[in-house]
Chains A and B, each alone.
Chain A
Amino acid sequence: MLQMVLQNSISGMAMGLLYGVIGIGVCLFWQTTGLINFAHISSAMLGAYFFYTFHVMWNLPIVIAFVLAVALVALYGILILRGVVYRQIMGRKGGRLEFIVATMMLNIFLLNLTIVLWGGVPYPFPNIFGSPMNPLRIGGITIQHHSLWVLGFTVALVIGLNYFFKRTLTGKALRATAQNKDTASLMGIGVEKMTALSFAMSTGVTAIAGILLAPIYFVSVELGGGIIGIKGFASAVIGGLTNPFGALVGGLLIGLTENFSVFYISSSYRDVITFVLLVFFLIARPQGLFKKM
C-alpha cells in the first residue's frame, strides 16, 4: 500500500513539475503584460521539434542542441509575439479579446506549419534522459531516470529564476515593471525592453518543458495543441498567476491528483481532474495559493 502511494507520488511529481514549468512560463508572461498567451504551449512544441532537429537530424551535441533550441524559441517569443502580435494589437489600442483571438490563431498556424515542415507523424525521442527500460529500483519502487532529470532541471530553473528576480538589478527592474509600468519608466527602465525580456523568458522556459515532455509525448504536435497547455495554465492559476513558484506548486498539485485519481478511480478521469481543480480554485480561491512575488 505504502509502496503504491510512494510510486504514484513519484510519477505524479515528475509530470506535475513539468506542468508547473509550463505554468511558470504563463506567469512570466502575465507578470508584465496582464495577458494570457493562448499560443503559449506552442513554445513547448517548437522547443521539442528544434531540439529533435538539431540533435537527431543534424547530429549536434546534446548541450548545444538544447541551448540552441531554447534560444531559438526565446527569440520566437520576442519576434512573433512582440513584433507581430503584441505590438500590432497594443498599437491599435486593442484589448484582451483581440490578443486572445490573435494568439489562438497563431497557435493553429504554428501547429499546421509544424505539420508542413516536419510532417504529422510523431518522432520517437532519443533516450537521452535514460531509457525507460532500466529504471532505478529502490525497495519496490521504480524511479525513471527521466523523473530525476525533470527534478534536476526544475530545481536548477527555480534557483536560477530566484537569483535573477531577487539578486540582479535587471530582475528587480522586471518586477518593478510588472507592478507599475509608468513609474518603472521614471526610474529609467525601458519598459519595451523588459516586456521583450519577459516574452523571451516565458517562451524559453516553456521550450525547456517541451524538451523534457518529449520522452513522454514523443516529438509530436500533441505537445502544442493538446491538453498539456491547459494543465500548465491551470497550474499557473492555482499558484496565483503572479507568482512563478506558485505555479510549480499548482503543477505538483495537478500532477499528484491526476496520478492518484487514475489509480483510485479510473484513467478516463485523468484529464477531467485538471478542470475540476481549476473550477474549484476559481470558485474557492480565485486569487490563487500564493501572493505576488
Chain B
Amino acid sequence: MLKITNLSVSYGDIPALKKVSLEVKQGDVVSVLGANGAGKTTLLKAISGLLRGDSDTQIEFMGELIHQLPPNEIVKRGIVHLPEGRQVFSDLSVLENIEVGSYSRQDRSNIKSEIAECFEMFPELVGKEKQLAGTLSGGEQQMVATARALIAKPQLLMVDEPSMGLAPVVVKRIFGLLREFVKRGITILLVEQNAYMSMAVSNYAYIIAQGEIALHGSVEDLKKDEAVKDSYLGVKKKKKD
C-alpha cells in the first residue's frame, strides 16, 4: 500500500532521516519505534508532504508516486496524518474542527450522519459541540483530533504519539480505538515512544535510531529479540545468584 524507498530528510545541514526504506501493507498496523529525536515524526511529516525528502526519495502509495505532491493533495489520496500534540484548531469549536476535517472529502453525501457517528464514538464530546477546542482537556482534544482524522475517511491513518501527555486510562482508550479502526479496514502507521503499548496493537514494527532503520520485523519476532527487550520494552532479565 505504502512503499518508501531511500527517504532522506535534513533540517538545513542536519540530517534527520538517512535512506529510510519502509513498507506498509494493506490491513496492517505498523509501528515505528525509537527514542526521542530518532526521526519518527520527521518520517510521518515526509509522508504527508509537510517535509520534502531529497532527490533519491521515492514514496509510493497505491501504485502512485506521491513524494512531489503538496500535503492537501496527499490527504485526498487517503493518507490522513494525526499529528503529534493533537494540533486541534483551538479557536474553532469541537464541531467545526470535525467539519474542517472533512474538507478533503469529495463525497459529501453522508457527512452529517458520519459526524453524528463521531459523537457516538466519543460520548465525552456530546454537549461540547460548540465549545472551543482549545478549552478542552488533553484527552478530549485527542478525541477531537481522532474524530477529525476519521471523518476524512482515511485508507492509511498515520498516528503520531497518541499517548503523549495523557492519563493511562485515556491512552488505553485511544489504543482500543485504534484496534476498532483496523476492524473497519483502516491501515495504520503508528509512531510511539511507548513501545510496549504500540507493540500490543501492531503486527509489524520498525525500530529507528539516529535517523536510520536499525531493525524491523514482525512484532512476534521482535518481542523475542534480546536487544529490543533491553532497549525498548524495558524488560530486564533478572540476574540469579
Known: A172-B100, A189-B100. A293 touches B91 (CB 8 A): yes
Complexed CA–CA distance, A175 and B91 (Å): 8
Output the nearest chain A residue to B148 by Cβ-Cβ distance.
A187
Q: Is B96 an interface residue (CB 8 A)?
A: yes
List residues of chain B with CB within 8 A of the CB of A98: none
Find the residue from A175, A186, A188, A191 having the highest chain B CB count within 10 A: A186
Q: Is A292 an interface residue (CB 8 A)?
A: yes
Report B80-101 CB contacts with A as 1/0, cut-off 8 Å: 1101000101111000100111
Report B105-149 CB contacts with A as 1/0, cut-off 8 Å: 100000000000000000000000000000000000000000010
Complexed CA–CA distance, A274 and B134 (Å): 34
Q: Is A169 an interface residue (CB 8 A)?
A: yes
- Total A residues in contact with B, Cβ cutoff 8 Å: 19
Complexed CA–CA distance, A190 and B74 (Å): 11
Report A112-142 CB contacts with B as 1/0, cut-off 8 Å: 0000000000000000000000000000000
A223 to chain B, nearest CB (A): 34
Contact call A185/B71, Cβ cutoff below 8 A: yes
Contact call A179/B90, Cβ cutoff below 8 A: yes
Output the nearest chain A residue to B102 by Cβ-Cβ distance.
A169
Known: A186-B83, A188-B75, A190-B72. A180 touches B103 (CB 8 A): no
Of the candidates B50, B72, B80, B91, which one forms a contact with A292 in the assembled complex, judged by CB atoms under 8 Å apart? B91
Complexed CA–CA distance, A185 and B72 (Å): 5
List residues of chain A with CB within 8 A of the CB of B81: 186
Known: A172-B99, A187-B101, A187-B104. A179 touches B89 (CB 8 A): yes
Find the residue from B76, B92, B101 having the highest chain A CB count within 10 A: B92
Contact call A183/B87, Cβ cutoff below 8 A: yes
Complexed CA–CA distance, A292 and B134 (Å): 12
Contact call B72/A191, Cβ cutoff below 8 A: yes
Contact call A189/B91, Cβ cutoff below 8 A: no
Of the candidates B50, B72, B89, B99, which one forms a contact with A188 in the assembled complex, judged by CB atoms under 8 Å apart? B72
Contact call B89/A189, Cβ cutoff below 8 A: no
Complexed CA–CA distance, A172 and B99 (Å): 8
Of the candidates A176, A190, A293, which one forms a contact with B100 in the assembled complex, judged by CB atoms under 8 Å apart? A176
**Interface size class, chain B:** 20 to 34
Output the nearest chain A residue to B111 by Cβ-Cβ distance.
A169
Contact call B152/A187, Cβ cutoff below 8 A: yes
Contact call B50/A182, Cβ cutoff below 8 A: yes
Complexed CA–CA distance, A190 and B48 (Å): 14
Q: Is B70 an interface residue (CB 8 A)?
A: yes
Q: Which residues of A57-73 are within 8 A (CB) of B? A: none
List residues of chain B with CB within 8 A of the CB of A169: 99-100, 102-103
List residues of chain A with CB within 8 A of the CB of B91: 175, 179, 292-293
Q: Is A200 an interface residue (CB 8 A)?
A: no
Contact call A187/B100, Cβ cutoff below 8 A: yes
Q: Is A173 an interface residue (CB 8 A)?
A: yes
Contact call A187/B103, Cβ cutoff below 8 A: yes
Complexed CA–CA distance, A13 and B173 (Å): 55
Of the candidates A173, A175, A185, A293, which one forms a contact with B70 in the assembled complex, judged by CB atoms under 8 Å apart? A185
Report A151-172 CB contacts with B as 1/0, cut-off 8 Å: 0000000000000000001001
Contact call A172/B72, Cβ cutoff below 8 A: no
List residues of chain B with CB within 8 A of the CB of A172: 92, 96, 99-100
Complexed CA–CA distance, A185 and B76 (Å): 11
Report B50-88 CB contacts with A as 1/0, cut-off 8 Å: 100000000000000000001110011000110100010
Output the nearest chain B residue to A242 by Cβ-Cβ distance.
B91
Complexed CA–CA distance, A173 and B104 (Å): 11
Known: A185-B70, A188-B152. A173 touches B50 (CB 8 A): no
Of the candidates B75, B103, B148, which one forms a contact with A173 in the assembled complex, judged by CB atoms under 8 Å apart? B103
Output the nearest chain B residue to A291 by Cβ-Cβ distance.
B91
Please give me the 4 A-B residue pairs with the lowest Cβ-Cβ distance, nearest first: A188-B104, A185-B71, A188-B75, A183-B87
With A188-B75, A190-B72 known, 5 other A-B pairs at CB within 8 A are A172-B96, A175-B89, A179-B89, A182-B71, A188-B76
